[in-house]
Structure 1
């Protein structure tokens, strides 16, 4: 890959804004380390630019893989370039005007980020989760990972001097900062706070149709002219709950939703489980939003495990990272056509 990255860690520091969800701090979860030299600044720069342009590389981690390949293919298709999935010379030339989106920025930790509040411990079993007031982040590092479209392990690798979260600490993080936070006034305040916490840009293209393609595990957003304007890596279906092929419509969205857990609808549920209403939160089964479809029991939603997108199975629904599905919600509206194909 040709050199696109600018020196990591530069730029003005920014203050973080936290969303309170629980009354007390929580201990940090264990972060599986990765080597700092495993992160390629040039790859991260390309990922950051694609993320800003709406061709999501999934988790921004400075490493090449299937999600970056898919994002590059989407960008190349949208720009009329040869679709290679590689950062070739034509693609780098098309990305060059956006080099001002530097690969990393510095973030200053504030008191709210330290305090949370957080949900720790976070039980795995739905009946136990139902007893909690919220399925929030386990700790500040997990919240920071989602905010900057990455993982705690990547943040730790970008900060080899240490990531002990304390007020005033400066961390190097991927540059997912939006160009605007002017979210529509029609949104409830808690949803605007969620968009803000996930660094979702308020400026988004309008989609006329979405196409979910099983062959390459992506969700495409098309405008009125049929032009590809955004693309997201997605998890869709399994051998037990296949993707429901056909043409559907988006009915609406449930922001920061509760989740009605019905074990009868899940092939892998514990036979002793009973129905339960799970509280909202980014670590809930459907993440921060449920986009309802005309196909009963099916929707497009977030996930508590962004690193698994495109690499795992679902119960038939379409699963995106929390930040990607939140962004998608700004592109579509009730009545938007949804085509599911192989």
Structure 2
């Protein structure tokens, strides 16, 4: 059944945040002086800053491998520089796609095959653009669906949460890269995983603010066309194949639970909703009282289905994003297939109505 994810307040982030509407806030830079002005106050492009102002202290080969996998379409989930199941699965997917031994290890042959960007570092030192920093943000997102329905959008709570999704990571990783005393805001300089900007000129027709979503998540509109997707319950991944049956992308996924198991079978993709509203029906959830009223929830990355809903021929089931990317592969769902918002946005660019979605054990 459709997932209704509870929205929890961000906790444990000991970092100062300059909100965009607080023009009087005083902030200090991480490794450099802030620019006096920004040419385009609405820009979402993160300018690279001279590394000599704040060099990368300790190279992180695991984070670099995660970034390379992410850029290649074989998502490790959140980029955090740590080993784990999602990283191993991403390596295995990349190895299968490139006819390498299926080890799940960052061996020499795999790293060599990943080296499309041989001089790339694990992280970037960037200046936060004013357009990105101004939000809007929603610091007190309610848990109750009726209260959520009153909001104009279910956006990010604060700038650090937005930055974490932009660079495919977590607030905790940003704190680890910059230190707990770092302050963030417009024109400030911070270190982030090396996820590049997308070219604004590559964006096409804007539907429901989709271009801004792609910029916010650093997802290019140009993605490979796929002929089928396979959701593998045993490994917890979604794999995408082209018309030659070649694996071209793989994403870690959360799927089903004991109450709402993954519906095994061959389904069809009916359509893709970008920045969707969510029709919340309490009667579809075993853990929600039927006395609750149905609600139409506004779109946003912190909504129940994130930034994408890919509708399936199985009624009430879909593939979608999530407000909690760190839980992907580590939590249960109400039967649907959940991806990080950036991976769901990628997949939305790949699929078309009518292609099969195969759910298997």
Return the alpha-carbon distance in structure 2 between the equivalents of residues 225 and 241 of structure 1.
Answer: 33
Residue 333 (str. 1) matches residue 352 (str. 2): yes
1:289 to 291, 295, 308: 308
Asked if 1 retains the 8 angstrom alpha-carbon contact of 2:269 and 2:313, the reply is yes
Asked if 2 retains the 8 angstrom alpha-carbon contact of 1:181 and 1:200, the reply is no
Alignment of 1:128-207 (within 5 A): 128-160=147-179, 162-178=181-197, 180-183=199-202, 185-188=204-207, 190-207=209-226
After TM superposition, give the deviation of residue 181 of structure 1 in Å. Answer: 4.3
2:299 to 273, 280, 287: 280
Residue 72 (str. 1) matches residue 87 (str. 2): no
Residue 56 (str. 1) matches residue 67 (str. 2): no
Return the alpha-carbon distance in structure 1 between the equivalents of residues 350 and 327 of structure 2.
Answer: 24
**TM-score, normalised relative to structure 2:** 0.82
Q: Report the secondary structure of 1:277's partner residue.
A: strand
Q: Report the secondary structure of 1:98's partner residue.
A: coil
Asked if 2 retains the 8 angstrom alpha-carbon contact of 1:290 and 1:302, the reply is yes
Bigger Cα displacement from structure 2, 302-311 vs 84-93: 84-93
Return the alpha-carbon distance in structure 2 between the equivalents of residues 133 and 107 of structure 1.
Answer: 30
Residue 307 (str. 1) matches residue 326 (str. 2): yes
User: RCO greater where, 1 or 2, for CA within 8 Å and sep 6 or more?
Assistant: 2
Asked if 2 retains the 8 angstrom alpha-carbon contact of 1:18 and 1:116, the reply is no
Asked if 2 retains the 8 angstrom alpha-carbon contact of 1:235 and 1:318, the reply is yes
Q: Report the secondary structure of 1:295's partner residue.
A: coil
After TM superposition, give the deviation of residue 97 of structure 1 in Å. Answer: 3.8
Q: Residues 107, 326 of structure 1: CA spacing in aligned structure 2 closer, same or farther, 3 A cutoff?
A: same
Return the alpha-carbon distance in structure 1 between the equivalents of residues 137 and 271 of structure 2.
Answer: 29
Asked if 1 retains the 8 angstrom alpha-carbon contact of 2:266 and 2:356, the reply is yes
Alignment of 1:10-21 (within 5 A): none
Return the alpha-carbon distance in structure 1 between the equivalents of residues 110 and 304 of structure 2.
Answer: 37
After TM superposition, give the deviation of residue 96 of structure 1 in Å. Answer: 3.0
Asked if 1 retains the 8 angstrom alpha-carbon contact of 2:198 and 2:215, the reply is no
**TM-score, normalised relative to structure 1:** 0.86
Superposed CA RMSD: 2.3
After TM superposition, give the deviation of residue 40 of structure 1 in Å. Answer: 6.8
Alignment of 1:66-145 (within 5 A): 66-145=85-164
Bigger Cα displacement from structure 2, 318-327 vs 110-119: 110-119
Residue 246 (str. 1) matches residue 265 (str. 2): yes
Q: Residues 153, 63 of structure 1: CA spacing in aligned structure 2 closer, same or farther, 3 A cutoff?
A: same
Q: Structure 1, residues 286-332: CA drift from partner, whole Å, max 9, x if none?
A: 00010111111111100000000011111111100000000011111
Asked if 2 retains the 8 angstrom alpha-carbon contact of 1:103 and 1:175, the reply is yes
Return the alpha-carbon distance in structure 1 between the equivalents of residues 347 and 120 of structure 2.
Answer: 21
Asked if 1 retains the 8 angstrom alpha-carbon contact of 2:266 and 2:358, the reply is yes
Structure 1 stretches lacking a partner, 5+ long: 1-8, 20-35
Q: Residues 17, 105 of structure 1: CA spacing in aligned structure 2 closer, same or farther, 3 A cutoff?
A: farther
